[in-house]
Structure 1
């Protein structure tokens, strides 16, 4: 093989395209000729084209079939049906004893007396969780070949002492989407002009998965199939090092952790950062050898445990982020010269090898660190517990318990109902989590409340407290005597219809999946109503928003209706009560305070100008959680769509132009309900569809700010993601289904709305001291009290509804999903 050119970044791609081959990436040495090269399988050199996921998987399977160093498994599939493969790479001798190695490795985390000095270290290497940061997954082609085929003594010694868990594509759907874009826009004569179409993907771009989620925020919440697979692997193996290969702006070089020291989560042990810095020396040495520029400790952070490079840090492992300046195609002009795709691949490959070298040489030290981490965790845990639940909503409670179990956290039933801090924790609707367990640090991280920080800048959110996110009641320092038996696997109860009725059926609106049940009923063509007041029937109490399905004048007879509702209740996990009388204590079933519900036909504006994450979360909520249709209308063809067929239009956070405003105005005036999020609220107000009074904060006064730190001062004024408390008027339809008088809201904007002078027009209003968890600047903290995050106003025959913040954040903010559903089913009554 020809000797690789060294400084690719300064050489024109037209020359390189003719000369590039596998030798550019892999070190010189002897290679097993029986191991197929990437080109022999995928029909092009590594870096000549962007690898498609199907070709990547094909090569991984060929490697596994041809090498006794590699085994392969399929851990599931993405939303688009692509396999989630994992390669285990180690010596043939280790493969023969792989289950014993795994068992002993886990045992060592439970028993400090286990001798680990002769055990292999476990390294999880993951690539391209952002699909359009593709150099990582393309580097896997060379990495897999090298580990399978190299016959050098160094590689054989490495594999003898290392178990490598290779995740070739953390985001198969996004990788495939981006490869299609880059390849279909590639010219024969590569054009590095950044203005070329090749370097400007169309919406929603390849960063995200099918439902447009940033999957590098889901390691802790674990809501997506890709995350579930990798988290299961993580806890099965408890790797000592986990690497996460990314890309960043084209004018950047190469970054490796540690990040900015002051932005490390306080729950992360200092030794973790010390080891990360020691490993960094290996990256620097390897990149120096090939003449690549790099930096460390200047940007990025280790604060939010939902990222791939930070999640390991709270689990006894060492997470390492790599960020490569991106070519975003095949070659692009940058401040550093022409940045080519092969150059970015080689840097990722080099960092992957330097990680393995560090793991090999620091093996015993890192293995012992993991042992000490869990030993300290057990010894410092309190012999108390936490409890969470919702006495009227089993589903939200179940989904939180489900997340804990995915992380191998032990949970118990509540032995019997009890009250704590004015809340009722009901058996079957609540769980107790003992703190004296192996993963107690992880439990603390999930429910962490923090309002003071060393640094005021965050790469991601500053708060994610799970009891607030899931909208459940919560208490700490609970006696373990409250705990019942340990729960092996949480299950979500099936719903039921209590009895056949000749009058009608009542369904409380408190349960999480009631929107799914109601939509199924309406789509069947059945009539349903909702209550505007509280009442009692048959000894049962029913709250605002209770759904009434009368028996008379339905398209199904009484027997068929009963049987259909049984199916609905079971599939939606809700209880439906058959009543024997319409006479209530309070409003009767024939009262005008039961309002008819119109079958919704919902559309959502998507495309250029709309935040893809936000629209994807809404799409996922409708499609995956509630089995509801939402028609996504792209801004490209909005002008040609007949809007009259829709009852509701959702506009996520956006920066829309005004060319379609008259069309939307006319639709609302004729009776439509428009629901706008965040910046869309400004757009609707500026076009006189809703009257809003905005408030704004001053910039914090900080004396003697240097020019160097000017950007840090302005950055500290943003709310990057924090949690705030609001009081709610439960009689207003926006709040139907909530049992408490206060709610926790996620906020990542500085969009502040002044309240209306009439209190009934402020059904959700921040309290006078609203910060529950997270960072907010001093000046913003002065403005937010008593402002409102929600407004609704009449416009013609329709309604305009706005939220200042996302009610569906990252699919794990279960606690506020019902706010959006209330606008869908009750929006015309607000």
Structure 2
């Protein structure tokens, strides 16, 4: 018996750790078309032997489409690194012949006035299979090689029935940039004799790793507001098809097993209907049966939630679909030692193939039930009493424009106002404002985007607990409880171009209200124009009339030349208005030659990156400056910064992360010699701990209490202390350079940390302070809320000839927090102007 067991384990080792046969992955109760090449025949290596790159994956998918009349391939977008993003449509040849009709009929499920007449028994189900949104979670995209081969080559009544009754959409490599980065790393570090030692270089990819896209964004958090090109292209196809099931194939820690949804029921968003959870659980039985068949361990209803609608497995739930998350324990390379024994790459792939097959089996057998779920979902009407959400900002048309885009990208109808409206004391001009009526199919999604939820069944969140669109954008918004007069529905949403008023060889003004004003300012500085910022208001003569200009107005010094033609280009591109004036004398306020017009410097910015630094936070800075404001950004690792001369830089940025190995003495000398240090979240905490600024971080409270508690509740109590993503209200001082361009008394800030500043003794160096009743939306523990109340959110100080600007929050969160980007940009453009006077920010 012992010899038989030994033989069994030797055989298991061969199939698990060596090159496996196709039968290891594929169902064997069918025959396969020999005209369709297996992945090994096409690629030259077996699936799981090495990591497939996006180029290889796409070449194989195109070969399947060339050889099989079941496959059609299309490009739905391109990444920042110019890689294509493919979507495959897989169904029977007959269905392909009438695919547009099938799609049109399927879309009727969303329209209650049309869906009642549909014969669901005759309709195909639509299934979306999405693989590896995180590039270093490769079992998903590698498993798709075998799943796609099965769909192209399998023969028999079962596959014929599936393809007749389903339209299968395959997104084979959601994150092509990150996937290529990771595949390259593990393949070049792979040994012929596989090394399973966790200390091997193969398992320690270099910073920032392959999880994220080019700008280090987590694409799995971008499904709702869609700021990345990968997401924008993918969601166009999602809404074009509105799948009944969407799978989202991930990986988790190597010491785990395999997870499939449902997650923890108490952590499901309340707007998701209970029927969704029930159907997810029913589908889960198919996954369990498939994994049981191959003797794989798994679990469900633990760890993960379905709350934040910006994730790939959750956005479908608020669109009448069933989103399903799969999490496979990751081998991270090819073979790794874990607490559960040796974990091989082929084994991880096999589980993902099983999950795909069980999904397709469930879709076929539950087809009518899932179609009915979508039809019933959209038949339910809005009952919360809000007739419409009305929004608009006459001072920043660019942000309003993008807010409309966000809504329209989610198939939400937006209308112009037919007349001026005043709602809850907020005035909306019909020329600059919009309305989103709630009596439309997407009413659940609309509510989720505007709601201000502060009560929750559970206090633990896998991701953020609030994402209210109006606060993300800092756009005045009101809930209309009565009907508003709707004008024209927004079709093509054209960018609001600016204008140039008058002409002059003396000076032009532009205000800092527009979102893209910093982009215009940087280009003007880059081309050699002298710019000055007004630190006090003024009234100037423009086109023969007096016009008021607020704090932060920019003066362009013409020096005898008229830049009108160039300014017209900037006005159209950036949505900025330019105003000519022919005299330096003003009717009211500071004159143009006043020292209170302070000269701007062209920023030359260094951001510190590398191991320890949060790639997500750093990537948000990089994306903002590189993609939106057109500012070059130098990114250097900590060890590089410690040894190079920093004199040529005007600014150093510390985003979130750990800076344990950064030389505080070198950073101190940089600031003392005139540089500006901008430190966010953990970076600000590092500055405080190193005593570079006279700022104190409040001690973090714990939730242990004095009484004894059951050990099993430890996670619940400790997790409740995390501020995972909540919106708070802060008072803003629009006279401070950090707040230039904000014409309001209060602003919403997003907080996803437990960093709380103590108040400073200086009455002038805290331009943003949380209010005494700060919670707007999301979850916060009462102990943390007490620490936030009346505490500074931004602190500015002088150090020698330079400035330190500390922000406890991340103003650039996930690229969709447009409303606070200006705070960060102001630190770059105006940071050096802060100071002056007894309490003007001098070192204390």
**TM-score normalised by the chain length of structure 2:** 0.95
Residue 515 of structure 1: aligned partner: 518
Give the alignment partner of residue 550 of structure 2, picking from 543, 546, 556.
543
1:367 to 1:562, Cα distance in 2 relative to 1, 3 A: same
Taking the aligned partners of 2:821 and 2:642, their CA distance within structure 1 comes to 30
- Which runs of structure 2 are paired with 1:436-515 in the superposition (5 Å)? 436-477=439-480, 479-515=482-518
Aligned residue in 2 for 1:20: 20
Distance of 2:343 and 2:574 partners within structure 1? 52
Aligned pairs for 1:62-211 within 5 A:
62-110=63-111, 111-113=114-116, 114-211=118-215
The alignment partner of 1:351 has SS state of helix
Aligned to 1:232: 236
The residue matched to 2:775 in structure 1 has which SS? strand
> How does 1:319-718 map onto structure 2 within 5 Å?
319-376=323-380, 378=381, 380=383, 384-477=387-480, 479-537=482-540, 538-552=545-559, 558-559=561-562, 561-582=563-584, 583-700=586-703, 705-718=709-722
Aligned partners of 2:339, 2:265: CA distance in 1, in Å?
Answer: 28
Shift of 1:644: 0.6
CA shift for structure 1 position 757: 3.1
Q: Comparing 692-701 with 529-538, which one deviates more in the overlay? A: 692-701
1:403-422 CA deviation, whole Å, 9 max, x = no partner?
10111100011223333334
Q: What is the alpha-carbon distance in structure 2 between the residues aligned to residue 365 and residue 247 of structure 1?
A: 29
Aligned match of 2:837: none
Q: Secondary structure at the match of 1:364?
A: helix
Q: Which moved more, 1:494-503 or 1:475-484?
A: 475-484
- Tell me the alpha carbon deviations over residues 141-170 of structure 1, each in whole angstroms, 9 at most, x when there is no partner: 000000000002111111110110100011
Q: Contact (CA 8 Å) 1:332, 1:340: kept in 2 or not? A: yes
Say whether residues 1:290 and 2:297 are aligned partners.
no
CA distance in 2, matches of 1:235, 1:74: 16
Shift of 1:665: 1.4
Distance in 1 between residues matched to 2:764 and 2:127, nearest whole Å: 57
**Pair 1:440–1:7, CA change in 2 (3 A):** farther
Distance 1:10 1:390, change over 3 A: farther
CA distance in 2, matches of 1:825, 1:15: 60
Distance change in 2, residues 1:245/1:6 (3 Å)? farther
Q: Does 1:269 align with 2:273?
A: yes
Aligned mates of 1:343, 1:667 — CA distance in 2: 52
Say if 2:120 and 2:368, in contact at 8 Å, map to a contact too: yes
Distance in 2 between residues matched to 1:293 and 1:279, nearest whole Å? 17
- Unpaired stretches in structure 2, ≥5 consecutive residues: 835-844
Which secondary structure does the structure 1 equivalent of 2:333 belong to? Answer: coil
Q: 2:842 matched to which residue of 1?
A: none
RMSD: 1.8
User: Does structure 2 retain, via aligned residues, the 8 Å contact 1:603–1:631?
Assistant: yes
| 1:425-475 Cα distance to aligned partner (Å, 9 max, x none) | 233432111111111111001112111111010000011111001111010
Partners of 2:420 and 2:802 lie apart in 1 by 45
> Are 2:733 and 1:729 aligned?
yes
Tell me, in whole angstroms, the C-alpha distance in 2 between the residues paired with 1:704 and 1:659: 41
Please tell me whether the aligned partners of residues 382 and 436 of structure 1 are also in contact (alpha carbons under 8 angstroms). Answer: no
Deviation at 1:382, TM superposition (A): 5.2
CA contact (8 A) 1:462 1:774 kept: yes
Q: What SS does structure 2 have at the residue aligned with 1:349?
A: helix
User: Deviations 1:173-223 (Å, cap 9, x if unpaired)?
Assistant: 010000001101000100111111101111000000000000000001111
DSSP 3-state at the match of 2:639: coil
Deviations along 1:521-568, one digit per CA (max 9) or x if unpaired, are 00001101010111222332211100001222xxxx524x22121222
In structure 2, the residue corresponding to 1:282 is in which secondary structure? helix
Moved more, 696-705 or 54-63: 696-705
SS of structure 2 residue aligned to 1:443:
helix
1:112 is displaced (CA, Å) by 3.3
Of 805-814 and 651-660, deviating more is 651-660
| Residues 700, 777 of structure 1: 8 Å contact kept | no
Q: Give 1:11 shift.
A: 6.8
Counting matched residue pairs gives 820
| Cα deviation 1:562-584 (Å, max 9, x = unaligned) | 21212222221211111233323
With normalisation by structure 1, the TM-score equals: 0.96
Partner of 1:770: 774
State the alpha-carbon separation in 2 of the partners of residues 452 and 820 from structure 1: 31
Residue 51 in structure 1 maps to residue 58 in structure 2: no
Q: Structure 2: how far apart are the matches of 1:303 and 1:401?
A: 24
Kept after mapping to 2: 8 A contact 1:13/1:190:
no
Per-residue Cα deviation, 1:335-364 (whole angstroms, up to 9, x for no partner): 111100000000000000100100100110
Task: Tell me the SS of whatever aligns to 1:129.
Answer: coil
**Alpha-carbon distance, 1:12 to partner:** 7.2
Deviating more after overlay: 484-493 vs 519-528: 484-493
* Distance in 1 of aligned mates of 2:373 and 2:9: 39
* Residues 405 and 359 (structure 1), Cα distance of their counterparts in 2 relative to 1, 3 Å cut: same
Q: 1:422 to 1:381 in 2, by over 3 A?
A: closer
